[in-house]
Amino acid sequence: MNFETDPQVESLRKNLLDFMESHVYPAESVFEHESADAADRFASSDLPVMRGLKDEARRRGLWNLFLPGSEGAGLTNLQYAPLAEITGRSSTLAPQAMNCSAPDTGNMELLSMFGTEQQKLDWLEPLLDGRIRSSFAMTEPAVASSDATNIATSIVRDGDDYVINGRKWFITGAMNPHAKIFIVMGKTDPTAPRHRQQSMVLVPRDTPGLTVERDLTVFGYDDHHNGGHAEVSFTDVRVPASNLIGNEGDGFAIAQARLGPGRIHHCMRAIGTAERAISMMCARAEERVAFGRPLSEQGVIRDWIAESRVRVEQLRLLVLKTAWLMDTVGNKGAHTEIQAIKIATPAAVEWILDKAIQVHGAGGLSQDFFLASAYAHTRTLRFADGPDEVHKNSLARRELQRQAAERANES
Amino acid sequence: MNFETDPQVESLRKNLLDFMESHVYPAESVFEHESADAADRFASSDLPVMRGLKDEARRRGLWNLFLPGSEGAGLTNLQYAPLAEITGRSSTLAPQAMNCSAPDTGNMELLSMFGTEQQKLDWLEPLLDGRIRSSFAMTEPAVASSDATNIATSIVRDGDDYVINGRKWFITGAMNPHAKIFIVMGKTDPTAPRHRQQSMVLVPRDTPGLTVERDLTVFGYDDHHNGGHAEVSFTDVRVPASNLIGNEGDGFAIAQARLGPGRIHHCMRAIGTAERAISMMCARAEERVAFGRPLSEQGVIRDWIAESRVRVEQLRLLVLKTAWLMDTVGNKGAHTEIQAIKIATPAAVEWILDKAIQVHGAGGLSQDFFLASAYAHTRTLRFADGPDEVHKNSLARRELQRQAAERANES
Amino acid sequence: MNFETDPQVESLRKNLLDFMESHVYPAESVFEHESADAADRFASSDLPVMRGLKDEARRRGLWNLFLPGSEGAGLTNLQYAPLAEITGRSSTLAPQAMNCSAPDTGNMELLSMFGTEQQKLDWLEPLLDGRIRSSFAMTEPAVASSDATNIATSIVRDGDDYVINGRKWFITGAMNPHAKIFIVMGKTDPTAPRHRQQSMVLVPRDTPGLTVERDLTVFGYDDHHNGGHAEVSFTDVRVPASNLIGNEGDGFAIAQARLGPGRIHHCMRAIGTAERAISMMCARAEERVAFGRPLSEQGVIRDWIAESRVRVEQLRLLVLKTAWLMDTVGNKGAHTEIQAIKIATPAAVEWILDKAIQVHGAGGLSQDFFLASAYAHTRTLRFADGPDEVHKNSLARRELQRQAAERANES
Amino acid sequence: MNFETDPQVESLRKNLLDFMESHVYPAESVFEHESADAADRFASSDLPVMRGLKDEARRRGLWNLFLPGSEGAGLTNLQYAPLAEITGRSSTLAPQAMNCSAPDTGNMELLSMFGTEQQKLDWLEPLLDGRIRSSFAMTEPAVASSDATNIATSIVRDGDDYVINGRKWFITGAMNPHAKIFIVMGKTDPTAPRHRQQSMVLVPRDTPGLTVERDLTVFGYDDHHNGGHAEVSFTDVRVPASNLIGNEGDGFAIAQARLGPGRIHHCMRAIGTAERAISMMCARAEERVAFGRPLSEQGVIRDWIAESRVRVEQLRLLVLKTAWLMDTVGNKGAHTEIQAIKIATPAAVEWILDKAIQVHGAGGLSQDFFLASAYAHTRTLRFADGPDEVHKNSLARRELQRQAAERANES
């Protein structure tokens, strides 16, 4: 296990830190003001401040860093980790400014791995170029989507077309009119074996029958910075058969392949979120005086600061190990570790944010600080790509198998 | 200790349960629609649905239940407890519908106890009648307001007037134009002993120099149902000296007196919130199937349900004991218990809400369910009327004193 | 719900508090010295100090307080609760001194409820009189005994006898040679319905084939004060058929009936344990100075003290409610509450003991303080009469049923 | 950061794993039997089984692995970490068998760094050779020893001698008659600056005036395997001035230097303890059936297994990072990380042991399994070398300073 960094990453890191200080942090309040005045508050890609950030990020070479291989910046997961972490300090702006925000990232990876040449030309290129955004339509309101085999949207072959009927929700980004393409997961063959029933198709936003119904809030946030989370209905939506990604029945496998990198990106950024929270907690604790002493000299506050540092250090190392494993043995080989960080990250970061909020008093819950919105976002990670409970159950099953194998070995 | 109920409470309870089923729950979505269409979304007292609820509550005698004595419904705290709990099941509507919502409740108590006849005539009567609403302006952005002696707003005697300068925030209800009167805490004598520097004055909303600057959100919620939480500036605001409540220097003592009942009301309602969350968690767990079994048959979910029940039972009993103590030995005699429920309640109810949200999947964080907004509100209780840490410190000091006295006794 | 006390209880309480101060606490170190020098350290009933305590307790009328009805002191559960709590402050001596210690208490209740006249004469009388002690043999090493239907010991009718074969462990009290009678649970009919396979028989200690094999420690403690926890084997142990308690197949039902009171007694005493820990924590915190200030002025320690107080208050109220329910609607009607206290008590008391230990430094883990042994005992409560997990699962199932019934009612 | 392993370590690891399987685990029950029959149960170094293990370890080159430099095995901390972890799977036997057990390890390091040639010849050599054992006498019963400046034992220069008076307790190893040398910390100059008052002297066991008074238990364990934890009095104990270690006033600094490696060794071994607990938990969960299904298929148990794995993975990485830092920037540079693992380790490992015990039922608390004694030992780590609270306070202070420096930098 080697987490050593290299000159390329060091240089990107300095570049990015400078970008954050000089451009991103100052843009945070500007963004909120422009959003408030915008005709469509979800069309964040359009705001002058966001266009400016994107131009600057591209100019600095801070673009598509998430994507390995020649189509992206070519970084390994281990190289990307410290950079993604930094973007998490301003998670509403920095990832999008650098074309590194979900769900585009996962969709680009998916198209890069499984798309046909035509699909890449039509959708991957404009995505890589930041000209459009995209959505990934999997979760459904009517079933426990944590079990992907429950998904009920139908995708039926009809001549040279597929016809899609169903209802999805929590479709991140879909409220943004610039989300031009949806990757939709549904069932092509309900009679196939359980993990071969699903397929994925590309559905352009303007296809008749696709209706973006409404935004779903997260706590009270509409997440307009990232195109919200929409409920979307599909009524006799018809796309050409060439819009299928991979083969019929590949849906489940493609979804699994898509999730690994997405999960670790969330975790990397969450660590940056936690670091910003610790910084804010420390600054505030020194500044506020209660009952004759600064908060920073009060034992309970110190306990929180120490616990926060201890937790975030452990978490970061586990994320780095996971990145290193993904690079060296592949996403499949790192499956258990990806689950482990998926479980460990939201709990630790929520805890730290909660304490940072408490140190800030009531203001900590308001729009004046980064903390409450970061908490809301972090809370979603306990569901995103499957609830903790599903991952814990699966991780435990593997541990039981591994231990049983060891016992068999010894005897 | 006797928590026995009586026929009057039983009758009110049935009445209230019926009111909830027949009027309040159905009004929840109506209220959100009317709010969305309203000219001023904070003017919730004006909405037809709210006026209807108030009329019905008054008709049923479910009005001012919180207020002991002849000016209110005359219930003891122990009698009010099971009723307040029920209102907490729909905390955005029920308390307001019954003229039992903060900060009016505390303000009415305060005027009832400390107001002059004229002050009662001018402000207590219209408040009791539900014709106006009110705010309590204590917390300040620039200081740690958990230590009330930090409060910096100045109230200076000038001839027959007081002149007020300062900045307050998180002034609940102040965004509502119907909040016609503000009770403002500030310093009349910075040279007096630490707990005699503060005074309270009545400031009508339309007094020149009083500016409601903006709304502060809680997580992403604007709490429009309850008039939001405003930042309010006072610039050379001038009121007649007769607007002083009590005497100069009484501010701290009045604030303390105001807090006891307010705190227990929050706790009573929070238990109702928890009960609704448990109901929803159970219903959802039976309805959703994942990996071949309903969630209600999965061990971790059962663990959450059991823990929730065990926690809420303990909490309710402690709240009842506190109510009984307040009734029998007075708010001062129940000081430690009031602190105890203030500490215990938000932690327990947050935990239950968090689990109920998790059982609901991503939807649990959205506007489609009661849970996320209830979580946000419950989270504020860890600050409201002083952060947990201040109360724990004080409760521990008393415990140490009590134990020292016992040791002295024994030897 | 009425937790009011009465003059009888008040008088017993004063009497008992005086007994604790004047006799029990001073006896604690004497007991350890006498045990260390005894020929059989498990024969605690024989030690002069214990005989003295028993005489004094009996003289004071502090005898068999646990037992309702004319055979015992005739107290209700609610009356017994504050008294049992006080005995928990010195749990190794006080309960035994007052003939109120497990497993005798449960065995006496059982014989009182289900014993024949002859069985009562032979075993209940000497137990009530404190002349002998007893054991209850249910748990087995080879199966998960939390599921009582797993129990494998066989009890086979052979002419006028029953013949018992099996192996039990964690048989509390059995190392004490004065434990003259064992109540043994086993299977009389493996083909009967699941809850009718078990029966209970009385097996005198000196019956051939009954062998007390060894003591099992709890953490490092041998629990000699209470006769240890023995592994016991039964090899062709033959007793007359008249030793059957109740009828064949009643074993499971009798075991259930026995458990309710036993569980609440454990919880009552555990609260006393927690109170003593809080006292010790406070005294120590004031006495020790580190880094220039007494521990009692350090924030983290205060946090522990406050949390301890808040937790123990809630717990006590739930135990009182449960006692009141057992008195008013019976043990069966209080089933859920008995489970609730069984779940809540060890967790809360363990937490408090852990903090009290931490305040005492390394000494807190040693024989010089009450805390470590109390922790070990409290830890066993998470298994005793079924592990927490079983009770949580069952409590959740009932909650789900109750909620489903309410939903059905409403619609 | 590079945690890569090397062939030397790989070879030692295989060797050690084989030693554990073939010699150590089988010796565990033998050791308890020999101890039970021994004339002095604390003289564990004498037992045939221990002598055999030592011979075998030495033969295999598994000797003094803890000690860097030419006097020991010459391993770095990072190299030692995976080996020490393995010894933690049998923490009562393996470390001692390999001459790697506290307090000898710290004492050898101390003598190696600060001893004179004569001191090394007299005491370091026989310790390195495993011929004698040793104790470190710092903690005192009468003061909060977590603040080392509280230490009250006096060391007074008198001609060519030092005269020592004081009382120590929790002196690990001192009950073992083979602990031939005590390193004693005391005050040589109570008027010097706070951290220059203390000195350390070597006191041979047989020096008149040194009395080993009694053993202190940890929970109920006497820790006879490691010479117990003794209370030791020093009454006019006279040693030659040449027994001073370093110079007068160096005591505090030497103590600090001694602690770093000792702390990380504890943490490394604790991880091995956790791994063994997880193995046992998995094996037991598969073997036991309750309510119709093996425990391993029950959700709550799976949750525990998953959490255990996730926690131990994070912990190990933090320990490895700390070892790597100690190797690359020195113990002082790794100060914060040493504190971090000191804080994180006992909490995580206690949690895992607690769950493993619960899965084992009552047996988990008994001598039949490794778990309860491991829990007791792990619990002591929250005090050893300073309680968690002291370390958290200090770690937070550094974090606050670091953050303040960063803020100063940025502006």
Encode chain C (411 residues) as per-residue pLDDT tens digits: 899 889 999 999 999 999 999 999 999 999 999 999 999 999 998 899 999 999 999 999 999 999 988 888 999 999 999 999 999 999 999 999 999 999 999 999 999 999 999 999 999 999 999 999 999 999 999 888 777 788 999 999 999 999 999 999 999 999 999 999 999 999 999 999 999 999 999 999 999 999 999 999 999 999 999 999 999 999 999 999 999 999 999 999 999 888 778 899 999 999 999 999 999 999 999 999 988 899 999 999 999 999 999 999 999 999 999 999 999 999 999 999 999 999 999 999 999 999 999 999 999 999 999 999 999 999 999 988 889 999 999 999 999 999 999 999 877
d(CA D266, CA C245): 54
Residues C344, B310 contacting (CB under 8 angstroms):
yes
Of D95, D127, D133, D125, nearest in space to D227 by CA: D133
Count the residues in chain B.
411
- In sequence order, the β-bridge partners of residue C167 are C233
Contact B392 C315 (CB under 8 A): no
User: Does A7-101 match A253-410 in CATH topology?
Assistant: no
Across the interface, do D365 and C219 touch by the CB < 8 Å criterion?
A: yes
Q: What are phi and psi of A166, to 5 degrees?
A: 165, 180
User: Closest to A144 (Cβ–Cβ): which among B290, B368, B384?
Assistant: B290
> Is B152 an 8 Å CB contact of chain A?
no
- The confidence score (pLDDT) of residue D256 equals 85
Closest-CA residue in chain A for D6?
A1
Q: Across the strands, what pairs with C53?
A: none
Tell me which chain C residues have a C-beta less than 8 angstroms from the C-beta of D373.
Answer: 219-220
Both structure tokens of B36? 């969305």
- Strands B179-187 and A161-172: what pairing? unpaired
Which D residues, 174 through 233, put their C-beta within 8 Å of a C-beta on chain C? 216-222, 229
CA separation for the pair D264, D252 (Å, rounded): 19
- What does the pLDDT read at residue B19? 98
Question: Confidence band (pLDDT; 50, 70, 90) for B186?
Answer: very high
Name the residue among C170, C13, C3, C6 with its Cα closest to residue C89: C13
Interface A-D, measured as beta-carbon pairs within 8 A, has a size of 137
Contact B339, B391 (CB under 8 A): yes
Q: Where are the beta strands (DSSP E) in A205-329?
A: 210-215, 229-240, 244-245, 289-290, 293-294
Strand partners, B237: B164
Mean pLDDT of the A24-42 span: 95
D401 Cα to chain A: minimum distance (Å): 9
**Mean residue pLDDT across chain B:** 95
The dotted CATH code for B7-101 is 1.10.540.10
D282/chain A closest Cα distance in angstroms: 6
Strand partners, B203: B182
Is D361 near chain C, with CB under 8 Å? yes
Question: Is the minimum CB–CB distance between D21 and chain A shorter than 8 Å?
Answer: yes
pLDDT of residue D66: 95
* D216·C363 Cβ contact <8 A: yes
- How would DSSP label each residue in C133-193? EEEEE---TTS-TTSGGG---EEEEETTEEEEEEEEEEEETTTSTTEEEEEEEEES-TTS-
What SS3 state is found at A181?
strand
The dihedral built from the CA positions of residue D83, D84, D85 and D91, taken in this order, carries a sign that is positive
What's the pTM value of the predicted model, to 2 decimals?
Answer: 0.96
Interface partners of chain A (CB pairs < 8 Å, 3 or more) are B, C, D
Could you say which residues from 252 to 281 on chain A have a Cβ atom under 8 Å away from some Cβ of chain D? 278-279
Cα separation, B74 vs B85, whole angstroms: 17
Inform me whether the pLDDT recorded for A133 exceeds 80. yes
CATH for the stretch A132-249: 2.40.110.10
Q: Which of D267, D304, D266 is nearest to D285 (CA)?
A: D304
D1 interaction partners in chain A (CB closer than 8 Å): 2-4, 320
Instruction: Give per-residue pLDDT as tens, B304-317.
Output: 999 999 999 999 99
CATH class name, domain C132-248 = mainly beta
Distance CA B239, CA B164 (A): 8
Is the separation of the CB atoms in D164 and D154 below 8 Å? Answer: yes
Q: What tokens does C283 get?
A: 């005294």
- Report whether C104 contacts C124 (CB < 8 A): no
Q: Does domain D253-410 have CATH number 1.10.3720.10?
A: no
Task: For residue A303, give the H/E element and its range.
Answer: helix A299-333
- 3 state SS of D30: helix
Residue predicted with more confidence, B290 or B59: B59
Q: Which range (A403-407, B2-6, D111-115, D400-404) has the least confidence? A: B2-6
Residue numbers in B near C397 (CB within 8 A): 302
Is C30's Cβ below 8 Å from some Cβ in D? no
From the list C278, C306, C400, which residue is nearest B343 (CB)?
A: C306
Q: Tens of pLDDT along D356-406?
A: 999 999 999 999 999 999 999 999 999 888 899 999 999 999 999 999 999
3-state secondary structure of A220: coil
Report the distance separating Cα C24 and Cα C21, nearest Å. Answer: 6
Does residue C36 sit at the D interface (CB-CB below 8 Å)? no
Which chains have 3 or more CB–CB distances shorter than 8 Å to chain C? A, B, D
CA distances from A109 to A76, A125, A132, A263 (A): 14, 12, 15, 13
Cβ–Cβ under 8 Å, residues D106 and D261: yes
Closest-CA residue in chain B for D295? B299
Nearest residue of D to residue A319, measured between CA atoms: D314
Task: Select the residue from A291, A298, A300, A305 to test the C interface by mutation, using most C Cβ atoms within 10 A.
Answer: A300
The C-alpha of A149 sits at a distance from chain D's nearest C-alpha, in angstroms, of: 20
Q: Give just the sign of the alpha carbon dihedral A24, A25, A28, A30.
A: negative
Q: Would you call A317 and D321 a contact, using CB atoms and an 8 Å cutoff?
A: yes
For residue D130, the model assigns a pLDDT of 95
CATH of span B132-247: 2.40.110.10
The structure tokens 């791994």 sit at: D275
Spell B142-168 as b/e; 16+ CB within 10 A means b: ebbbbbbbebebebeeeeebbbbbbbb
pLDDT score at C257: 83
User: Mutating which of C86, C302, C393 best tests the B interface, going by the most B Cβ atoms within 10 A?
Assistant: C302
Tokens (6 digits) for D298: 């029950």
What does the block give as tokens for D35? Answer: 């101890």
Cβ contacts from B onto C, under 8 A: 138
Residue A410 has pLDDT above 90, yes or no: no
The neighbours of chain B, by the rule of 3 or more Cβ pairs under 8 Å, are A, C, D
- Measured from the Cβ of residue D177, the count of other Cβ atoms closer than 10 Å reads 16
CA–CA distance, D335 with D261 (Å, rounded to integer) = 11
- In the structure encoding, which two tokens stand for residue D112, read together? 């190696």
ipTM of the complex: 0.95
D295 at interface of C, judged by CB pairs closer than 8 A = yes
pLDDT digits (tens, 9 = 90+) for B329-362: 999 999 999 999 999 999 999 999 999 999 999 9
Bridge pairing between strands D179-187 and D133-137: parallel
Smallest CA–CA distance from D171 into chain C, residue = C362
CA distance A40 to chain D (A): 36
DSSP B355-401: HHHHHTGGGGGSTTSSHHHHHHHHHHTTTTTS-HHHHHHHHHHHHHH
Q: Which of D320, D337, D400 is best to mutate for the A interface (most A CBs within 10 A)?
A: D400
Closest CA to C9 of C69, C61, C70: C61
Tokens 């030497």 sit at which residue?
D254
Structure tokens at C291: 């880094």
Question: Domains of chain C: which residue ranges?
Answer: 7-101, 132-248, 253-410
Task: Tell me which DSSP letter residue D375 carries.
Answer: H
pLDDT in tens, B138-176: 999 988 877 778 899 999 999 999 999 999 999 999 999
Report the alpha-carbon distance of residue B211 to residue B214 in Å, rounded. Answer: 9
Do the beta carbons of residue C301 and residue C282 sit within 8 Å? no
Cβ-Cβ contacts under 8 Å, A35 against chain B: none
β-partners of residue A166 are A234
Q: Helix, strand, or coil here: D293?
A: strand
> CATH top-level class for D128-248?
mainly beta
Structure tokens at A123: 């959708």
Task: Give the Cα separation of B346 and B365 in Å (integer).
Answer: 18
Non-local (6+) Cβ contacts of A194 within 8 A are A149
Categorise residue B376: left if φ over 0, alpha if ψ from -120 to 50, beta otherwise.
Answer: alpha
Q: Can you spell out the DSSP letters for C351-386?
A: HHHHHHHHHTGGGGGSTTSSHHHHHHHHHHTTTTTS
Q: To which H or E segment does residue B232 belong?
A: strand B229-240
Q: Is D315 on the interface with A (CB under 8 A)?
A: yes
Count CB atoms within 10 A of the CB of residue A275: 20
Residue of A nearest to B229 (CA): A366
Nearest CA in chain B to D297: B299
Could you state, in chain order, the average pLDDT of each consecutive group of 10 residues for chain D (411 residues)?
Answer: 92 97 96 94 93 97 94 94 97 96 95 96 97 96 81 96 97 97 97 94 98 96 96 98 97 86 94 98 94 93 98 98 96 94 97 98 95 97 90 96 92 71
What mean pLDDT comes out for the span A306-321?
98
For D103, what's the count of Cα atoms within 13 Å in the CB-facing half-sphere? 30
Q: Which of residues 387-406 of C touch B (CB under 8 A)?
A: 389, 391-393, 395-397, 399-400, 403-404, 406
Tell me the mean pLDDT in the region B361-377. 96
Name the residue of chain A whose CA is nearest to D319's CA.
A314
- Compute the nearest-CA separation of A293 from chain C (Å): 12
In this prediction, residue B259 carries a pLDDT of 75
Tell me the C-alpha distance between A64 and A286, whole Å: 38
Above 90 in pLDDT, residue A341?
A: yes
A303 and A358 Cβ atoms separated by less than 8 Å:
no
Choosing among B20, B317, B336, which should be mutated to test the C contact, i.e. which has the most C CBs within 10 A?
Answer: B317
Judge whether residue A265 has pLDDT over 90.
yes
